[in-house]
Amino acid sequence: MNTADQYLKTIYVVQDSEDGPASTGSVADALGVSPASANEMIGKLEERGLAEHEKYKGVKLTDDGIVRARDALQTYCIIERFLANVLAVEDFQAEARELEAVIDDTVAERLDTIIDRQPECPDCFDPESDACACLEIAPEPVEPEQQ
Amino acid sequence: MVAVSVSQRVASDDQLARLLQIGIVLEEVVEARAHRHYQQLDAELDAEVEALLADAAKESADHRERLEALIDGLGVDSVPFDEIESLVDARYGRTRPEDFDDVLYDQLCNEETAYKFYDDLIEAIESSDAAFSIDREELIATLTTIRDEEAEGVREVTEVMERR
């Protein structure tokens, strides 16, 4: 997934959770980049007709931007599901974040052929847990209660 | 939301091992699908497609072994082939290829995807200054050979498709 797609995915999730335009600061925080870097990329997305930036309000995706952002979020979900269910990676969220930049959409599509993604993907993505809400993972062993 | 990485680099042994495991799974998917397609061709044998699939399965097994040798060097386990085979089987039961064109198209996607994966991986390793516990030159040489064989695979499938 390229950098532009990572930004689109992040803006999509932030604007959804803020129920309105995503502030540049929130986008920069979510991506772990400086506000200046975020502003620069948002400018590029605007030039490509994928986002609109309103001063003092923040950034909002256009319809084209939303389509691409949802594709990127799906790719991210595929990577997470693949790591959790096929490779049994415990901290699959952290690894998915590390790997998403190196995994291309076409590769994710092929990995998608061996995982069971739900038809509602990516609407099932939960930003709080940074994972698909329908993802079934082995439950953590329950610690016995101290008497 | 948690901060994500926007760098396209391979930064550690662990990350490299994970990517090589993904490469192994991609090869296993090719191998399992080629095998399944090959079995389905029994009813109506087509020598050219049969040979192509047999070669693809053999090449994927060879790539898998080379990737396994690399991740052995990193001290990480491989991904068991029978698990991938059963996952492919479980999904494939729902989407059967209808004819030889489907089989060839699927094979083309496999080869193209694998090529793209190795090409991106080589680029990500080359743009990283991380020190890996396996020899970097040998790593890049192995991945380059595999990538070039995938490119050759794309060419072969395309030629067969064009002739038909």
Question: Residue ranges per domain, chain B?
Answer: 13-163
Question: Chain-centre distance of CA B9, in angstroms?
Answer: 20
Each residue's pLDDT tens digit, B55-101: 888 999 999 999 999 988 988 777 777 777 777 777 665 555 555 66
- Domain B13-163 falls under CATH 1.20.1260.10: yes
User: CATH 1.10.60 region(s) of chain A?
Assistant: 67-132
Distance CA B141, CA B126 (A): 12
Indicate the burial class of A145 (C-beta count within 10 angstroms; 0-12, 13-18, 19 or more): exposed
Which has more pLDDT, A99 or B40? Answer: A99
DSSP A65-129: HHHHHHHHHHHHHHHHHIIIIIS--TTHHHHHHHHTTTS-HHHHHHHGGGS---TTTTTTEETTT
- B19 to chain A, any CB pair closer than 8 A? The answer is yes
DSSP-based three-state secondary structure for B20? helix
Chain B contact set for A83 (CB, 8 A): 18
Low-confidence ranges of chain A (pLDDT < 70): 137-147
Chain B contact set for A114 (CB, 8 A): 25, 29, 84, 87-88, 91
Q: How far is CA B151 from CA A70, B96, B116, B145, in A?
A: 30, 26, 9, 10
Q: Given a cut of 60, is residue B2 above it in pLDDT?
A: no
DSSP-based three-state secondary structure for A133? coil
**B82, closest residue in chain A (CA to CA):** A86
CA-wise closest residue to B82 among B39, B28, B40: B28
Q: Token pair of A35, please? A: 């506000």
| Cα maximum dimension of chain B | 54
Which has more pLDDT, A79 or B41? Answer: A79
Q: Given a cut of 60, is residue B157 above it in pLDDT?
A: yes
**B89, closest residue in chain A (CA to CA):** A114
pLDDT above 70 covers what percent of chain B? 85
Q: How many CB pairs under 8 A join A and B?
A: 101
Chain A contact set for B124 (CB, 8 A): 101-102
| Predicted pLDDT at B82 | 77
| Predicted pLDDT at B142 | 96
| Predicted pLDDT at B8 | 64
- B109 to chain A, any CB pair closer than 8 A? The answer is yes
Least confident of A65-74, B26-35, B148-157: B26-35
Q: Which residues contact B98 (CB under 8 A, 6 or more apart)?
A: none
| pLDDT confidence bin for B155, thresholds 50/70/90 | very high
Question: Which 3-state string (H, E, C) describes A111-130?
Answer: HHHHCCCCCCCCCCEECCCC
| pLDDT confidence bin for B125, thresholds 50/70/90 | very high
> Any idea which architecture A3-65 has in CATH?
Orthogonal Bundle (1.10)
Q: Token pair of A16, please? A: 């959804």
Q: Which CATH number fits domain A67-132: 2.40.30, 1.10.3120, 1.10.60, 2.50.20?
A: 1.10.60
Q: Per the CB < 8 Å rule, is B88 touching A114? A: yes
- B87 to chain A, any CB pair closer than 8 A? The answer is yes
Chain B contact set for A109 (CB, 8 A): 113
**B47-66 residues touching A, CB cutoff 8 A:** none
DSSP-based three-state secondary structure for B10? coil
Chain B contact set for A31 (CB, 8 A): 3-4, 6
Q: Which of A2, A99, A127 has the CB atom closest to B1's CB atom? A: A127
Q: Per the CB < 8 Å rule, is B29 touching A113? A: yes
Which residue in B4, B95, B120 has the most chain A C-beta atoms within 10 A of its own C-beta, making it the best mutation to test that interface? Answer: B4
Mean pLDDT of all residues belonging to chain A: 86
Q: Token pair of A84, please? A: 């959790």
Q: Per the CB < 8 Å rule, is B121 touching A102? A: yes
Each residue's pLDDT tens digit, B97-116: 555 667 888 889 889 999 99
Chain B contact set for A14 (CB, 8 A): 1
Residue type, A65: G
| Predicted pLDDT at B3 | 46
Number of residues assigned to chain A: 147
User: CATH 1.10.10.10 region(s) of chain A?
Assistant: 3-65
CA-wise closest residue to A108 among A69, A70, A81, A135: A81
pTM attached to this predicted model: 0.82
ipTM: 0.79
Q: Which of A94, A109, A113 has the CB atom closest to B91's CB atom? A: A113
Q: Per the CB < 8 Å rule, is A110 touching B109? A: yes
- B143 to chain A, any CB pair closer than 8 A? The answer is no
